Structure 1
Amino acid sequence: MSHKSDIEIARDASKRPIQEIGAKLGIDADHLLPYGHDKAKVSQDFINSVQGNTDGKLILVTAINPTPAGEGKTTTTVGLGDGLNRIGKRAAVCIREASLGPCFGMKGGAAGGGYAQVVPMEEMNLHFTGDFHAITSAHNLLSAMIDNHIYWGNELGIDERRIVWRRVMDMNDRALRDVVVGLGGVPNGFSRQTGFDITVASEVMAILCLARDLGDLEKRLGDIIVAYTREREPIYARDIGADGAMTVLLKDAMQPNLVQTLENNPAFVHGGPFANIAHGCNSVIATTTALKLADYVVTEAGFGADLGAEKFMNIKCRKAGLAPDCVVLVATVRAMKMNGGVAKADLGAENVDAVNEGCANLGRHIGNLKQFGVPVVVAINHFVTDTDAEVQAVKDYVATQGSEAILCQHWAKGSEGTEELATRVAEIAESGVSQFAPLYRDDLSLFEKIERIATAIYRADEVLADKKIRDQLRQWEEAGFGHLPVCMAKTQYSFSTDPNLRGAPTGHSVPVREVRLSAGAGFVVVICGEIMTMPGLPRKPAALEIGLNDMGQIEGLF
């Protein structure tokens, strides 16, 4: 078996010209806008032309709560896409673009791993086709136009204490969380307190990922609430006159990016909201386009199923009229052991008791997903240190939960390692057993929606929110925003808001710290516990190991 690093495997890939990949989905070369030889955007004209096609089957890949042991959700998404193609199905993969923040922070790259990767790995993890730069620019154009409006006389009567639009950049930078702008006297405008979020948390990112076309995009950008007057009347981006120019900046970014897997199968990589502080899904336009072109579309939702899958179902599917035919829940023996209390250093030793102990986290995710009426299959992402007894323990446990677990070896073997999973997923999807429905109705109050997720998904006893937050939610309901879904911003490491509480905790509360209205995206962000919308870099960021080697190749991305 190979011991090459992910980046070495990616570098050795025999990539096909992107026109050949497009041809697999019936996309003519004229409708591909190439960025180099191995990536292209799919034209809006072509997307419009296939709207009459029947939709393929939609497979969602999600996971247990992430542990330092790693779960391999993207790797499994790619492996399953390749596996479906291997068994003769026309399948495409839909994943998100990587943010530079975690790339140089904790996580490194995000394009799969081993022999289940999407390439070109380096470009995907760095600037790719410039979508995130476009989102950052559009967001900050609006920020600049707000301050400029106030400087030139504030015709709209914006209350400077009630500007809710912040600034963004695509890097983990804790020093920018709270800043004062406009220092230096009259020529620099009025000084006020504001802050930066990371680009992936921007409402512009969410809008790009939820908009159906450029018209819808422009309307949603105009709907962004940027500030309030002294009378508490909302000021929209269209009042500032920024929606047209923002749309122009996002015109190309709106078109999905097509790349390929190591096995030369099509992959759409588009959009990139984090699932802990945003809605965590690939763009609606990429997913819906893929469904018009392929018989099977495998897409992932970020972090654990308590975050990514919940938002995929309650926000993305609700907004886009989608319904998954099957859900694949990724787990590893190593992660089960960590949930069972084993330290990372000791994960190599066989410990069936710890596996059994840690399975409670997996069981809760299975139960949660079933509440949406969707069939669930567990994919055990195989590591070389896993023993047969440990794998069997997971399979036996999953059987007691009314589901089934299948061992997957795509990391080492590519599509050969996911044949069994692909065959089973195809059977389930074709059988039409999915009875998908979101977890809550549109007409519940905003606070009831928060409680529904907290009790049904996190299994918390209560939601803690002070009067100021409850009043704010009520005001939004009175203003006509009560029908919106909620986007919970919380730690990805636990069902609770305490990142150290592993397993399947009960008896905890969900404290709500802040709520933000994303009227353009069409949801209310609920910030819980200590979660930050601008992450910081760790003590030893991944950036320390990233550089060019003597041959001019990138090293240290993983």
Structure 2
Amino acid sequence: MTDIEIAQDVKMDKIVKIAEKIGLTEDDIEQYGSYKAKIKLPLQIKNSTKRKLILVTSINPTPAGEGKSTVTVGLGDAFTLLQKKAIIALREPSLGPVMGMKGGATGGGYAQVVPMEDINLHFTGDMHALTTANNTLAALIDNHIQQGNALGIDQRRIVWKRALDINDRALRKIVIGLGGPVQGVPREDGFDITVASELMAILCLSENLHDLKARINRIVIGYTHDRRPVTVKDLNVGGAIATLLKDAIKPNLVQTLAHTPAIVHGGPFANIAHGCNSVLATQTALNLADYTITEAGFGADLGAEKFLDIKTPVLKKMPDTIVIVATIKAMKLNGGQALADLASENLNALKKGIANLKHHIRSMAQYGVPVVVAINRFTQDTEQEISYVQKVCAEMGVQALDTDVWAKGGQGALELAQTLIKTVEQPKKFKPLYASNSELTEKIQTIVTKIYGGANVEYSKKATNQLKRFKKFGWDKLPVCMAKTQYSLSDDPKLLGAPTDFTIHVKSFVPKLGAGFIVAMTGNILTMPGLPKHPAALDIDISDDGKISGLF
């Protein structure tokens, strides 16, 4: 059976019943039909005693992804089977990959969140609200210029782009305002995918509505002719933009196939943004459950680093254990085996490619938190391959658990869950990767050497000039969010395994003062992806009676 067929075959509990499991009443939620709800804010209920946080990350993935969400869901169901009070906290899918290359993003097999069709498509409208808010701000910027430009905005130096929640390469660079004076002021513009919008990052890092509005007001939308930054506060539209997000800020409650409560909220990509679900979602789960299992996008070099260095200071809660998801096929790919041949046993490629897993184990261990490896089993994996990975991990002092959640759901993660129940109680001393008051260049160098395994950082002339201006504006000590390929530890997607002594190339910076960080653009990273030759949309259909097929 396909993922969608498995999801459609399950009988879901009414969302009110799921809410009751975690101590919420019908008055605490806003129902979106029978199986989805928003959790009302502020939430006063705090009945958790343990408040243990488990972060799920992975090695560098294959183009298909390595199953972090699937393992997170299966792990939550395993805790439920062990009669532990657990909530999983995931990101919301974007229509870009849903209609593009990866397909759905709600787990897989017998480890899924449901209703998967709704979650993968329009869900509760959060993505649409963010897209609308983003483009409302863009329209207000252009209207300000059209109506006299009292702030003296230089239309050549507007950094706020429009957004769309679908991959559309034709919109990366456009010209607007053509057609004469009444059509606006002509200028170059472009679109980001919605999950790359600063508003998505702001939504995911805001602690409440007041914080949301304050962060929106700090957004830098462009510069004046004499190079002074212009913010949303200068435009006096922060209240309007925040109003458009009044419902989107509320976490979404759904369930897994096994009826474990799941909070799915926010969805920044980890290769172009900070890659974690919302602080409010994670905090809500921590308040309502003994065990919160959450994931961060792509490999540990991206999602986990950003979770630990950008999200943790806002969340004010460090993970109690880090789970690194690894697949045999991803390690063989990193070891040089062709993508088309990954189903075949190849111990030589595995022995080379396991260097990638070893690197991520070492980089995560630097934070002073226990690390566990989950081997996400695929049907083609052999016992010899799995045993080899477990042996190598054991030599590093790390447990590697055979995890078969796609086929078995929570039953396939019982051993992993039992191990984590012990590791979350281990003593730990969380150590930030870099000092918060260090310079941007120091932070980048630290990430490159300690997380990526590289040696040097090379800055373009544009990036160097931006650094000088950032120092002048007092932005030079903000956290850094690295925009980098997910396929490699370097900024070259073809450089697989665990390369060393490489150079990271920073082409430019994007200040995101509302989010509270500076984005460093490296390599050929794009903030508006394109669709592949065979997009997933070609396989999606709906019958006359409304049944969806081919979603994944």
Residues 1:261 and 2:256 aligned together:
yes
Residues 1:497 and 2:491 are matched in the alignment? yes
2:121 alignment counterpart? 126
Partner Cα separation in structure 2 for residue 347 and residue 44 of structure 1:
47
Match of 1:534 in 2: 528
Q: Does 1:237 align with 2:240?
A: no
Structure 1 252/445 Cα, relative in aligned 2: closer, same or farther at 3 Å? same
| Superposed displacement of residue 88, structure 1 | 1.9
Q: Which residue of 2 aligns with 1:438?
A: 432
Q: Quick check: 2:106–2:113 contact (8 Å CA) kept in 1?
A: yes
- For the Cα contact (< 8 Å) 2:220–2:230, is it kept in 1? yes
Of 526-535 and 64-73, more deviation after overlay is shown by: 64-73
Alignment of 1:185 with 2:168, yes or no, is no
> 2:476 — aligned with what?
482
Match of 1:42 among 32, 39, 42: 39
The corresponding residue for 1:524 is 518
**1:470 paired residue among 464, 472, 475:** 464
Q: Which stretch has the larger CA shift, 19-28 or 382-391?
A: 382-391
1:385 deviation in Å? 1.6
Shift of 1:466: 2.5
Cα deviation for residue 411 of structure 1 reads: 1.1
| Higher mean C-alpha displacement, 348-357 vs 188-197 | 348-357
Contact 1:514 1:526 in 2 (8 A): yes
Q: 2:219 aligns with which of 199, 216, 224?
A: 224
Mapped contact 2:462–2:508 kept (Cα < 8 A)? no
Query: 1:99 and 2:94 equivalent?
Result: yes
User: Equivalent residue for 1:270?
Assistant: 265
Contact preservation (8 Å) 2:460, 2:505:
no
Provide the rounded CA distance (Å) in 2 between the counterparts of 1:535 and 1:498: 17
Superposed, 1:289-438 pairs within 5 Å as 289-431=284-426, 433-438=427-432
Partner SS state of residue 251, structure 1:
coil
1:282 matches 2:277: yes
Choose which of 205, 208, 224 in structure 1 pairs with 2:203.
208
Shift of 1:52: 8.4
- The one-character-per-residue Cα deviations of 1:395-449 (angstroms, maximum 9, x if unpaired) are 0111122211000111111111111000100101023x22212211111111111
Q: Distance in 1 between matches of 2:28 and 2:328?
A: 44
In structure 1, the partner of 2:17 is 20
Conserved? CA contact 1:356–1:397, under 8 Å = no
| Equivalent residue, structure 1, for 2:5 | 8
Residue among 539, 542, 547 paired with 2:541: 547
Q: Distance in 1 between matches of 2:376 and 2:151?
A: 56
Shift of 1:260: 0.0
The CA deviation at 1:156 is 1.2
Report the Cα distance in structure 2 between the residues aligned to 1:172 and 1:69, rounded to whole angstroms: 17
**Between the two proteins, what is the percent identity of the paired residues?**
55
**1:319 CA drift (Å):** 2.4
1:324, 1:434 within 8 Å by CA — same for their partners in 2?
no
Query: What is the rounded CA distance, in whole Å, between the counterparts of 1:493 and 1:533 in structure 2?
Result: 16
Where 1:457 maps in the other structure, the secondary structure is helix
CA distance in 1, matches of 2:304, 2:48: 26
Alpha-carbon RMSD across the aligned residues, in angstroms, is 1.3
Tell me if structure 2 keeps the 8 A contact 1:106–1:538. Answer: yes
Q: Which amino acid in the other structure matches residue 404 of structure 1? A: Q
In structure 2, the residue matched to 1:506 is 500
In 2, Cα distance between the equivalents of 1:98 and 1:228? 33
Shift of 1:469: 1.3
Structure 1 residues 55 and 475, CA gap change in structure 2 (3 angstroms): farther
TM-score normalized with structure 1 length = 0.97
Question: Which moves more between the two structures, 485-494 or 507-516?
Answer: 507-516
Question: SS of the counterpart of 1:538?
Answer: coil
- Structure 1 residue 55, shift from structure 2 partner: 6.0
State how far apart, in whole Å, the 1-side matches of 2:398 and 2:166 are. 40
On the 8 A contact 2:46/2:288 being kept in 1, the answer is no
- For 1:68 and 1:316, locate their aligned partners in 2 and report how far apart those are by CA, in whole Å: 26
Provide Cα deviations, 1:78-134, integer angstroms capped at 9, x if missing partner: 011111111121000000000001111101000000111000000110000000100
Give the partner amino acid of 1:268: I
Separation (CA, whole Å) in 2 of partners of 1:331 and 1:470: 37
TM-score (norm 2): 0.98
Give the aligned partner of residue 72 of structure 1: 67
Q: Distance in 2 between matches of 1:345 and 1:52?
A: 50
Q: Where in structure 1 do 4 or more consecutive aligned residues deviate above 4 Å?
A: 51-55
Structure 2 portions without partners, runs of 5+: none
Report the count of equivalent residues: 552
The letter for the 2-side match of 1:286 is A
Q: Secondary structure at the match of 2:465?
A: helix
Contact 1:443 1:482 (C-alpha < 8 Å) held by counterparts = no
> Distance between the aligned counterparts of 1:357 and 1:116, measured in 2?
30
The aligned amino acid for 1:92 is I
Which of 74, 77, 81 matches 2:76?
81
Give 2:133's aligned amino acid: A
Q: How much does 1:353 deviate?
A: 2.4
| Alignment-mate amino acid for residue 437 of structure 1 | K
Residue 50 of structure 1 deviates from its aligned partner by 2.7
Deviations for 1:181-226, whole angstroms, at most 9, x for unmatched residues?
1011110121011111000000000000000000000000011011
**Is residue 140 of structure 1 aligned with residue 135 of structure 2?**
yes
Equivalent position of 2:30 in the other structure: 33
